[in-house]
Amino acid sequence: MKKIVLFVAAAGTLAFGATSCSKTCEAFTNQKCKDRVPTKEACQAQYKRWFYNQQEDKCRLVEYTGCSDKGFVSEADCNNCKCNK
């Protein structure tokens, strides 16, 4: 009986851990998490947006000029891209 209880507890812990991380990583399906700062665009519109850096698992505020409105307006929205493993 002890072995069954331990097995169920271990399986539940593993399942919860895997689900927990994959749930926080679902944001990677959001295309804005993959946005990069536009370069060499002819337009001169100015933007100040948050961009997610997957290697650093951090968001950074970037000012740029261009035609494309990329990135996130708020740091909080950008932080949804992070995966806390």
| Interval 37-71: pLDDT, tens | 888 888 888 999 999 998 888 999 999 998 888 99
Q: Which 3 state secondary structure label does DSSP give 68? A: coil
Q: Is the pLDDT of residue 30 over 60?
A: yes
Q: Which amino acid makes up residue 47?
A: Y
What is the reported pLDDT for 33?
Answer: 87
What is the reported pLDDT for 15?
Answer: 38
Residues 11, 38: contact at Cβ < 8 Å? no
Give all domains of the chain, ordered by start, each with its CATH number.
29-80 (4.10.410.10)
